[in-house]
Amino acid sequence: MRTSGPSSIAIDALRCRLGEREVICGIDLLLQDRRIGILGRNGSGKSTLARAMAGLIDPASGRVTIDGADIARDRRAALAKVGILFQNPEHQIIFPTVLEEVRFGLEQMGHPKPEAARRARAALKRFGRGDWGGRSTAALSQGQKHLLCLISLLAMEPAVLILDEPFSGLDIPTERALRRVLASYPGTLVQITHDPQVVAGYERVLWIEAGGLRADGPPGQVIPDYLAEMTAEGADAFADL
Ligand SMILES: Nc1ncnc2c1ncn2[C@@H]1O[C@H](COP(=O)(O)OP(=O)(O)OP(=O)(O)O)[C@@H](O)[C@H]1O
């Protein structure tokens, strides 16, 4: 892999609107850690922040740069710098065959077709799926589709990989297999999750609340406060029933 250490993700006075709503309300962060978790309740703005970090949302104001590249404005740089894995692989897979799917991102990065095909085959082989090239993407199982999305992203060797709860709904062996693939990823991983356990071993955890940063620090500091608040709210809600 090209990347060997953490990238520098700079989020400056970021505000994002969806329709009439301001969903990210002024976030400033400098992230230089290899493993970063993002926690927060439903609707707090985690996915919107992730999309802005991947350059998929044009901020209302402020900006996100990764290693100096403005991710929303410089699409070619964005493709090399950052990849994002969504919860539903159906939203990510667009080609009828596996090889076309893996090759596409590489072509978008500017690799000529033969080089893109060579890299795509090499990536499939690296993950023990050298025989998948001609397979129909529609015929893959859910777990296989997740793996294909992961291989397609890793083939592009992004400096930063953002995971927007990609493994919810997978069975335990499939999730463990995909996590093993990710554990060896040398670049920066940003993992969005509701489950603090998933990011307990990470270097840094961000807690997003109502579009802002509620807490930021090592997991040992942020997770207990997050759990205490979520548990207390759960108890209150139950008392109201
Ligand atoms: N297209 C849209 N137009 C207007 N508001 C939207 C749109 N998409 C999402 N929102 C709202 O923006 C807020 C943040 O959504 P976002 O998906 O970023 O939250 P989240 O923390 O990822 O939530 P979850 O954990 O449920 O996935 C939510 O209140 C949501 O209802």
Confidence of residue 237 (pLDDT cuts 50, 70, 90): low
Task: Please count the structural domains in the chain.
Answer: 1
In a domain, 25, yes or no: yes
More confident residue, 127 or 36: 36
Whole-model pTM? 0.89
Closest among 204, 148, 135, 133 to 178, alpha carbons compared: 148
Annotate 138-199 with DSSP letters as a single string. Answer: GGS-HHHHHHHHHHHHHHT--SEEEEESTTTT--HHHHHHHHHHHHT--SEEEEE-S-GGGG
Query: What CATH number does the domain containing 83 carry?
Result: 3.40.50.300
Instruction: Over range 168-182, report the average pLDDT.
Output: 80
| CA angle in degrees (0–180, nearest 5) for 148-72-14 | 115
Per-residue pLDDT, averaged over 77-93, amounts to 88
Q: Closest Cα to residue 135, out of 102, 99, 103? A: 99
pLDDT at 77 over 60: yes
Q: Which of 15, 17, 18 to mutate to test the pocket of ligand 1 (most atoms within 8 A of CB)?
A: 18
Asked if 66 and 159 count as a contact pair (C-beta separation under 8 A), the reply is yes
Q: What is the mean predicted confidence (pLDDT) over 120-140?
A: 93
Asked if residue 143 is part of any domain, the answer here is: no
Helix/strand/coil for 213: strand
Any residues with CB less than 8 A from the CB of 220 and at least 6 apart, and which? none
pLDDT of residue 174: 77
The answer to whether residues 140 and 96 touch, using CB atoms and an 8 Å cutoff, is no
Is the per-residue pLDDT at 160 higher than 60?
yes
What is the ipTM, given to two decimal places?
Answer: 0.94
Cα(212) to ligand 1 centroid in Å equals 13
Note down the domain range covering 165: 9-92+160-240
